[in-house]
Chain A
Amino acid sequence: AQKVTQAQTEISVVEKEDVTLDCVYETRDTTYYLFWYKQPPSGELVFLIRRNSFDEQNEISGRYSWNFQKSTSSFNFTITASQVVDSAVYFCALLNNAGNMLTFGGGTRLMVKP
């Protein structure tokens, strides 16, 4: 069985602070994919990043960066210099080897205050 844990249910920061959202996963598959999605108040899930289990290189995209540590089964997401528009619920998700099922974490609600 697969499991994704996002221990932080809610985080509040002041604009321009850096913030890291934690994600820990469990799977027996040797090949899998990890994802981060953003869910703004409108409700639509917006894709942010996909990472293959064989690629442990960290990735940076603008103010966003991701740290994949296979040894600790973690895939953490950092927002640098946060902005009010970053306020949303963020979900980490794991795609199984068969590719047919995404398992989501419970989400972290990020509130960025001006």
Chain B
Amino acid sequence: GAGVSQTPSNKVTEKGKYVELRCDPISGHTALYWYRQSLGQGPEFLIYFQGTGAADDSGLPNDRFFAVRPEGSVSTLKIQRTERGDSAVYLCASSLTMTGDTEAFFGQGTRLTVV
């Protein structure tokens, strides 16, 4: 597809379970970002990849959160032992390079609900 694709679009899971959220960036985009948007708030930065490596993971809230991008394209955000406070929309974005003069394109997000 032409845009950033995130799957699943919705995920309901029980407290304590493990979840994986997938992001397919735009082909050729080397920079990939994960953000979390809680209800009624702006997106908050979680982690940034340049190629395969996590260049900045300072936004990950704790060690239950982990993300990978093994081949420099698709990325997976992994959440262990989910808690109700993890419920939010998880947004992925990609851009051609890591500079301000290139636009970051966002996916439609994965709405995670922990019950």
**Which A residues have a C-beta under 8 Å from some C-beta of B?**
4, 6, 32-33, 37, 42-45, 47, 50, 52, 91, 93, 95, 98-107
CB distance from B108 to the nearest CB of A (A): 5
Which of B20-28, B62-70, B99-107 contacts its partner?
B99-107
Question: When A91-B42, A91-B43, A107-B41 are in contact, do A102 and B109 touch as well, CB less than 8 Å?
Answer: no
Q: Mark B79-105, 1 if CB is under 8 A from A, else 0.
A: 000000000010101000011110111
A101 to B98: give the CA distance in the assembly, Å: 9
Contact assessment for B106 and A101 in the assembled complex, using a CB-CB cutoff below 8 Å: no
Question: Interface size of B by Cβ–Cβ distance < 8 Å?
Answer: 29
| Cβ contact within 8 Å between B91 and A45 | yes
**Given A44-B108, A107-B41, A50–B103 Cβ distance below 8 Å?**
yes
Known interface pairs A45-B43, A45-B106, A101-B59. Does A95 touch B100 (Cβ–Cβ under 8 Å)? yes
A44 CA to B103 CA, complexed, in Å: 14
Q: Do A106 and B89 touch across chains, with their CB atoms under 8 A apart?
A: no
Chain B neighbourhood of A105, CB < 8 A: 42
- Tell which of A100, A101, A103 has the most Cβ of chain B within 10 Å: A100
Tell which of A44, A47, A95, A107 has the most Cβ of chain B within 10 Å.
A44
Contact between B104 and A44, CB atoms less than 8 A apart: no
